[in-house]
Amino acid sequence: MKLAFIIDPLEKLDPGHDSTVAIMEAAQKLGHEVFVTSVGDLAVINGQAWAKLAALRLQPVILVDGHWQVSQPWSELSESQWMALTECQAVFMRKDPPVTVQYLYATFILELLAPTKTMVINSPQGLREANEKMYTLQFAAVMPPTVVSLDKGLIRQFLEEHGAAVLKPLGGKAGEGILFLDPGDRNFNSLVEISTQHGKEPVMVQRFLPEAKEGDKRIILLDGDPIGAVNRIPSGAEFRGNMAVGGQVAPTTITSREIEICALLKPKLQADGLYFVGIDVIGGYLTEVNVTSPTGIREIDRLEGVRLGEKVIYWLEKQF
């Protein structure tokens, strides 16, 4: 197959961490052609979706003493050229958040592809509808108490009711901008003003889960089914477990409660064409559904001795 990956600049990717690189490596290993492009290199020509694609060759990472060893250089790009995306069997949309206007326009271009001929992972419509914070609210039965608002009074009322809370920007990623709210913090008003852009953007506020100190579990779902998980444990005085802010990773298992959460999500994820998803679970509560470029594959592979990227490609092969 020919597979196109819409990514951030290649030099910004960490081959020892990024799930995108793991999937591309797996595709190459299994005999498929890998091409890369960016959201700015998509176009519509004669009513068809096109992209400026560059063929990519990867030097796979190697696991040595429990750590990924990366060769330098680890990638080789050919000269890019315009190609109709209909020539590809699948397009992986793996651009990191935030979801900008340019990102949204890219999804409209990808919408021109017939899913029976060129599969987009994840589906353009699903990506537009599934804000990674707001989408989670469709599964409120398994979430901690949550409010979404830009009103300081409402957020204050929620905070006093629940004792402590976590504030999350709706467009953030990798733990960026997440704040711990304490009812006695005299900076409360300022924190909310800054986070809401002075009353212009709503934020999500969730009851603080003390179980967070034991870890924030990332579970990878493929077509709605869990295929692996990793626990991200806050380090030092940091309350966030995200790997991007220094959270330590540890092996874990998927509990019966988490299997129930995955089963609850599966029909909706499948209906929305959200095939590759990472959910976050703390203390048996669903806190986020990540659909744009969820990470975790490399860490699960390293800790469990598996190759989830290959599972993704094997699954993709069965779709054709």
How far CA 52 is from CA of 104, 129, 262, in Å, comes to 18, 26, 37
In the set 288, 298, 299, 301, the catalytic residue is: 288
CA separation for the pair 320, 196 (Å, rounded): 45
Does 41 qualify as catalytic in the annotation? no
In the set 94, 95, 207, 218, the catalytic residue is: 218
Does 280 qualify as catalytic in the annotation? yes
In the set 94, 95, 168, 173, the catalytic residue is: 168
Element at 122 (helix H, strand E): none
Does 218 qualify as catalytic in the annotation? yes
H helix intervals, the chain: 19-29, 101-110, 124-129, 152-162, 188-195, 256-271, 297-304, 308-317
Does 185 qualify as catalytic in the annotation? no
In the set 133, 173, 207, 217, the catalytic residue is: 133
Does 307 qualify as catalytic in the annotation? no
Per DSSP, the three-state class of 19 is helix
Does 298 qualify as catalytic in the annotation? no
In the set 207, 240, 298, 302, the catalytic residue is: 240
In the set 242, 290, 298, 299, the catalytic residue is: 290
Place of tokens 């870890």: 215
In the set 25, 216, 280, 299, the catalytic residue is: 280
How far CA 188 is from CA of 161, 170, 302, in Å, comes to 15, 18, 41
Does 168 qualify as catalytic in the annotation? yes
Residues 6+ apart with CB under 8 A from 225: 262, 266
Catalytic residue positions, numbered: 133, 168, 218, 232, 240, 280, 288, 290
